[in-house]
Chain A
């Protein structure tokens, strides 16, 4: 789909449907939607900052037993979200007027899933999200 912010609704919808099919527990499904939304937002706003029209982002899912894997793929310059410095507890406790704006999205993304992985393969960024169903 086109790498524009208007695609975020469709991206979240895709994740929600995949989570329903994989019987992922509701709060985990929400965290997964948030995680994918945050990374996709980052790709669209920063990864493809200098890209013209025609930039695309694609999404796919795989269910293995009680694990759901979502893969976001794009061709913007290589960027490993795990390399971003995470906000520290100290900064998170700061009054809002003293806070730096930024880093929160990736923090929420990585915290919100059971496993987050990044690979760069054949010119593409692969952001890989894994959640377990959460049912016993």
Chain B
């Protein structure tokens, strides 16, 4: 399934919904989106991955990029990860740094 990104930007948060398959070919598109979103300096960056069917390490690198670009002050949420995508996140230790939730609920 083709990769697609949609963004909902509020005053404190940006919700980035990802659908399809996130591999190295399309990861630059997500990186560009994050660069744009970062200009508004949101406090929370929320990735909705309910409909993400595949995520390669290129996707993980974009999450690292987001955190490094936006600084420790921004909180990263990954919403709706399940099965293999969740497995990739935990195998890579991202559950230590990213808030994993089934449905988005800001915790600050």
**Are these two chains actual partners, yes or no?**
yes
Are A96's CB and B71's CB within 8 A?
Answer: no
Pick the residue among A8, A108, A111 that contacts B25 (CB under 8 A).
Answer: A8
A interface residue count range (under 10 / 10 to 19 / 20 to 34 / 35 or more): 20 to 34
> Is A93 within 8 A of B96, CB to CB?
yes
Residue of A34, A96, A97 near B56 (CB, 8 A) is A34
**Do residues B84 and A30 form an inter-chain contact, with CB atoms below 8 A?**
yes
User: When chains A and B are docked, how far (Å) is the Cα of A136 from the Cα of B56?
Assistant: 29
Given A12-B54, A101-B65, A105-B57, residue A96 in contact with residue B21 (CB < 8 A): no
Q: Which residue of B lies closest to A95 (CB)?
A: B97
Per the CB 8 Å criterion, the residue count for chain B at the interface is 29
Question: Taking the complex as formed, is A9 at the interface, i.e. its CB lies under 8 A from any CB of chain B?
Answer: yes
Q: Are B24 and A104 in contact, with the CB atoms below 8 A? A: no
Choose from B21, B61, B71 the contact partner of A104 (Cβ within 8 Å): B61
CB–CB A92/B58 < 8 A: no
**Measured between C-beta atoms, what is the minimum distance from A102 to chain B in Å?**
8
Alpha-carbon distance A102/B61, docked complex (angstroms): 8
The yes or no answer to A6 lying at the interface (CB within 8 A) is: yes
Q: Let me know if B88 is at the binding interface, CB within 8 A.
A: yes
**Interface contact A38-B56, CB-CB below 8 Å:** yes
Specify which chain A residues have a CB less than 8 angstroms from the CB of B91 in the assembled complex. Answer: 108, 111
The answer for the CA separation of A12 and B58 in the assembled complex, in Å, is 15
CB distance B84 to A104 under 8 Å? no
